[in-house]
Structure 1
Amino acid sequence: MSPERGARRARVVMVEPALTQLTKLTASETHRLDRAIVAISANPELGAPVPGTLLRDYADDVDGVRVIFYVTAFQTITIVAYVEA
């Protein structure tokens, strides 16, 4: 028998604006943002839907980060459009 595995995480891709924002973050901010992105990849239904769009807005008040993203139809890829830390 094969060992049990946890739920499969979505692959995370960042679009250009998010990549540009990422280059401006400190190491501490990047670390905090990393935790949020891992959480989103494990549970793509985190955050609130942005009305009238496919986007979701996830804010983690404890770590002080915000990520705007959308998930592909089969929930295999999470596309990050905006990051804030």
Structure 2
Amino acid sequence: MPERPPRRAVITFHEVAERQLADMDDAALARLDPHLNTIALNPKTAGVQLRPDSPVLEYAKDGVRIAYVSTVLGTIVLVAYVEVD
């Protein structure tokens, strides 16, 4: 039986993040994309919780910062904020 690819979460963007994406050039979007893929594959473990009482996780690596919330089952990720240095 062939091995199934890992399950990926669906990434959605809050309107603030959508505006940030619209302001990015192609190079910044290209740098952002692999990091969004990392989050989609491992939404619960890719980021760190900002505060113990908050569902918001922060992923920061290689000049990319993403604040997001994952559903309980990890099937949907709402990206609230993106930043690419």
TM-score, normalising length: structure 2: 0.91
Q: Distance in 2 between matches of 1:29 and 1:59?
A: 15
Deviations 1:21-77 (A, max 9, x none): 00111101001111110110001111210102101000012xx11100010011100
Superposed CA RMSD in Å reads 0.9
After TM superposition, the runs of 4+ consecutive aligned structure 1 residues lying more than 6 A away are none
1:37 corresponding residue in structure 2: 36
**Which amino acid in 2 is paired with 1:73?**
V
Q: CA deviation at 1:6?
A: 2.3
Secondary structure of 2:39's partner?
Answer: helix
Are positions 1:53 and 2:54 aligned together?
A: yes
Query: What is the count of residue pairs matched by the alignment?
Result: 82
Identity of aligned residues (%): 39
Q: Distance in 1 between matches of 2:48 and 2:8?
A: 19
Q: CA deviation at 1:81?
A: 0.2
TM-score, normalising length: structure 1: 0.91
Q: Structure 2 unaligned runs (5+)?
A: none
Q: Distance in 2 between matches of 1:39 and 1:74?
A: 16
Q: Distance in 2 between matches of 1:10 and 1:67?
A: 15
Q: Structure 1 unaligned runs (5+)?
A: none
**Which amino acid in 1 is paired with 2:32?**
L
